[in-house]
Amino acid sequence: MSDSQKVDHRQGLLRKQVKRMLVRRFQSGFAAGTPHVKWLEELGLSGNRCRTGCDVVDNAFFQRPAGESLGRHPDDAPTLISCIRLLPRKNVFRILECLAGRTSQWKWMIVGDGPERQEIQQRIVELDLAERVTVAGHVPYSELPALYASAHVYIQPSIVEQWGLAVNEAMASGLPVLVSNRCGCREDLVREGINGFTFDPFDESGIADALTRMLERRSEWAPMGEASRSIIASWDVGRFASGFWAACQLAIGEPERRSTRLTDRVVRLCL
């Protein structure tokens, strides 16, 4: 079972070779999505022996009952939401810089806590963003659907993100999404211009462009949100169950791969 992708970390020759020695011992793989299957293929496991769906959420939990109105109004100030740990790899400071520049129309609600919280709050004050950026801290899971319903667009700005389950949650809630191209979910869940946009998380100008493009499409946010619902519908807990079972069946039907004593020793030393 793997939700690692090639871009997650620097892949030195020795590290990659050890991973190949490990992966080649398996008969099947259960991966998060497309980039994760590609990585397993590069490490020696055939893609046709892999199944996807190990990173899903209970979509129904985030969908509003029929007839229930949104907590947001079309004329409200455009509001971004992110549900993230406040860690360096989540790239919060670069988004703050963008919001202080030419994308000043946006508000941003950050849901989550972590070691960078105090520094983030200090930077918000320094950039004069206190009226537009809110750090909500830790929020119980049961309250997340209401928070998603109060925003217009979800943004996942990470520079390292194996998948990004909060993107699933936001899409199930009917939100358009802005997703870093380093997030593992971007190939399977984001369709450019249909339900959102991707961006390079290291490129502040590119992030600002993505925010501007999304704002220019404001009149289309409702259909983009519906497109998110449609796309995420096939990425539910049922997909996890069927994908896991299919991977098990593939493994059972394949002869065990024998490894050498040297391979066993190297793998044990590196794990």
Q: Is the pLDDT of residue 8 over 70?
A: yes
Average pLDDT of 33-38? Answer: 97
In angstroms, the Cα distances linking 36 to 8, 212, 217, 245 are 10, 30, 31, 18
- 7 φ, ψ (degrees, to nearest 5): -80, -5
Gap between the Cα atoms of 61 and 236, Å rounded: 11
pLDDT tens digits, 157-167:
999 999 999 99
What rounded mean pLDDT belongs to the chain? 91
218 phi, psi to nearest 5 deg: -55, -40
Structural domains present in the chain? 6-55+237-270 (no CATH), 59-232 (3.40.50.2000)
pLDDT number for residue 80? 97
Determine the Cα–Cα distance for residues 183 and 196; give it in Å rounded to an integer: 14
pTM for this entry? 0.90
- CA–CA separation, 137 vs 114, rounded Å? 8
How does strand 196-199 pair with strand 177-180?
Answer: parallel
pLDDT, position 66: 45
Q: What is the mean pLDDT of residues 167-193?
A: 97
Distance of alpha carbon 50 from alpha carbon 52, whole angstroms: 7
Q: Residue 11: which pLDDT band, with cuts at 50, 70 and 90? A: confident
Cβ atoms of 256 and 77 closer than 8 Å = no
Integer Cα distance of 37 and 39 in angstroms:
5
Residue whose pair of structure tokens reads 């390079």 in the numeric block: 200
Q: For 80-137, how does the pLDDT look when each residue is reduced to its tens digit (9 = 90+)?
A: 999 999 999 999 999 999 999 878 899 999 999 999 999 999 999 999 999 999 999 9
Task: Tell me what percent of the residues of the chain surpass a pLDDT of 90.
Answer: 79
Element holding 153 (H helix, E strand): strand 153-156
- pLDDT (0 to 100) of residue 259: 59
Is there a contact between 51 and 33 (Cβ–Cβ < 8 Å)?
A: no
pLDDT digits (tens, 9 = 90+) for 42-87: 999 999 999 999 999 999 999 865 445 455 655 688 999 999 999 9
Pairing of strands 133-137, 107-111: parallel
